[in-house]
């Protein structure tokens, strides 16, 4: 065998060794999750779930988000992902109407979109929800009413006035209050800013000044209850203004410990990230979506094929009795 033939055989052998790896790289799908705001504890946990599922399902996953609450920034991020020709976009929409045109462009480019907190988002392939939205709003109101003695003035915070699920929860909570607690009074329709601590803190100081008899706040948005609690401490009104909302236990612990926050509600943010990737993997594998199907890592789900929603009810209560166990879980 001459040198040329030896070289050909060596090249062929290397090619055979590399072929499986090349095929795997070619088959690997890319998903990028676009969240409401980057760098806050809630979405840090979501990112952990994304990465865990990505490693298990051989998907290249990452997460991006605006530096502040701004639907226009979300649009620009999605436009960039269209240009990058990713396979899947995960999205927590700030404004469903604003996002619709860019998601239509993503769909035209062959990109699949999986939302969370966007069950009515036009242009989505599927929405994944980890709580029953009506129950979530009602449970938070029941908790607030108990803390307030079922009477007095209260306020409602949302992330933005266009954030889909925050406003659905607020609608459900307010409707439940009107039906069951006639001695409670909503001071104003609702206030935005519950995704940012500083904004929620300033809003709370302003609301307490405008309504000196305020007895309760329910805040939808992972930083709303924390910002409200900071303001209540600042005004030395612990025990006089009750706070219920959504937050991660690690942030809420000191406020729950001293009673500034009565109780918060959530689902595991890690599960959110994991579920988004798991659904993308099911789509990639050509799975049939039907009611009662198993979503890997989460269990059986209620699937509405017409509405394109996948729902798993995993409400968690964060209070003095549960917080230590939730912290052990890493939430």
- Determine, yes or no, domain membership for 10: no
251 and 192 in a common domain: yes
Residues forming a β-bridge with 88: 31, 112
The reported pLDDT for the residue numbered 1 is: 52
- Determine, yes or no, domain membership for 71: yes
Name the token pair of 158.
Answer: 């949302």
Q: Which residues have CB under 8 Å from 6's CB, separation 6+?
A: none
142 and 68 in a common domain: no
- Determine, yes or no, domain membership for 157: yes
228 and 217 in a common domain: yes
CA distance 326 to 323: 5
157 and 109 in a common domain: no
126 and 151 in a common domain: no
The reported pLDDT for the residue numbered 297 is: 82
297 and 231 in a common domain: no
253 and 142 in a common domain: yes
Number of Cα atoms under 13 Å in the Cβ half of residue 6: 3
Structural domains in the chain (count) = 2
The reported pLDDT for the residue numbered 259 is: 96
The reported pLDDT for the residue numbered 321 is: 96
pTM: 0.84
50 and 124 in a common domain: yes
Give, to the nearest 10 degrees, the angle between helix 269-284 and helix 41-56. 30
- Determine, yes or no, domain membership for 323: no
Pick out the chain residues at pLDDT < 70.
Answer: 1-26
Q: Are 315 and 330 in contact (CB under 8 A)?
A: no
Torsion angle defined by CA atoms of residues 247, 202, 39 and 242, in that order, rounded to the nearest 10 degrees: -10
- Determine, yes or no, domain membership for 5: no
Containing 186, the helix (H) or strand (E) segment is: strand 184-186
Q: Is 194 helix (H, G, I), strand (E, B) or coil?
A: coil
The reported pLDDT for the residue numbered 298 is: 84
CA distance 59 to 22: 15
CA distance 188 to 191: 8
**Which structural domain range is residue 290 located in?**
27-130+269-311
| 244, 266, 288 - which closes a domain | 266
Local structure of residue 14 (DSSP, 8 states): H
Give, to the nearest 10 degrees, the angle between helix 224-234 and helix 197-210. 50
230 and 207 in a common domain: yes
Q: Which residues have CB under 8 Å from 161's CB, separation 6+?
A: 167, 190, 192
- Determine, yes or no, domain membership for 72: yes
255 and 138 in a common domain: yes
- Determine, yes or no, domain membership for 321: no
| Distance between start and end Cα atoms, the chain | 64
Please choose, from the candidates 256, 269, 248, the residue with its C-alpha nearest in 3D space to the C-alpha of residue 314. 269
Please choose, from the candidates 217, 194, 253, 266, the residue with its C-alpha nearest in 3D space to the C-alpha of residue 37. 194
183 and 101 in a common domain: no
49 and 31 in a common domain: yes
Q: Are 63 and 50 in contact (CB under 8 A)?
A: yes
CA distance 130 to 298: 9
DSSP codes joined into one string, 201-213: HHHHHHHHHH-TT
CATH of the domain at 43: 3.40.50.2300
- Determine, yes or no, domain membership for 259: yes
CA distance 271 to 46: 7
């Amino acid at each position: 065998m001459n040198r040329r033939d030896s070289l050909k055989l060596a090249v062929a052998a290397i090619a055979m060794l590399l072929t499986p790896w090349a095929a795997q790289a070619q088959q690997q799908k890319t998903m990028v999750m676009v969240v409401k705001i980057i760098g806050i504890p809630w979405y840090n946990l979501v990112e952990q779930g994304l990465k865990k599922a990505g490693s298990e399902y051989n998907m290249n996953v990452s997460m991006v988000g605006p530096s502040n609450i701004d639907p226009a920034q979300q649009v620009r991020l999605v436009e960039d992902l269209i240009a990058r020709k990713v396979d899947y976009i995960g999205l927590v929409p700030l404004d469903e109407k604003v996002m619709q045109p860019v998601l239509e462009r993503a769909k035209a480019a062959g990109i699949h979109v999986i939302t969370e907190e966007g069950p009515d988002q036009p242009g989505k392939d599927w929405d994944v929800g980890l709580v029953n939205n009506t129950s979530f709003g009602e449970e938070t109101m029941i908790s607030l009413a108990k803390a307030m003695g079922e009477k007095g003035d209260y306020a409602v915070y949302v992330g933005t006035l266009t954030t889909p699920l925050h406003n659905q929860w607020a609608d459900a909570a307010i409707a439940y209050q009107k039906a069951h607690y006639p001695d409670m009074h909503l001071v104003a329709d609702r206030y935005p800013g519950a995704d940012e601590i500083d904004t929620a803190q300033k809003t709370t100081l302003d609301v307490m000044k405008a309504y000196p008899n305020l007895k309760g706040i329910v805040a939808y948005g992972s930083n709303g209850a924390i910002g409200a609690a900071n303001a209540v401490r600042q005004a030395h009104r612990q025990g006089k203004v009750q706070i219920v909302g959504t937050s991660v236990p690690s942030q809420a612990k000191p406020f729950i410990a001293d009673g500034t926050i009565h109780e918060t509600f959530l689902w595991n943010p890690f599960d959110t990230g994991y579920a988004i990737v798991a659904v993308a993997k099911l789509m990639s594998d050509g799975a049939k979506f039907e009611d009662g199907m198993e979503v890997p890592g989460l269990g059986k789900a209620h699937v509405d094929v017409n509405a394109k929603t996948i729902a798993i009810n995993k409400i968690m209560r964060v209070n003095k009795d549960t917080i230590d166990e939730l912290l052990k879980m890493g939430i």
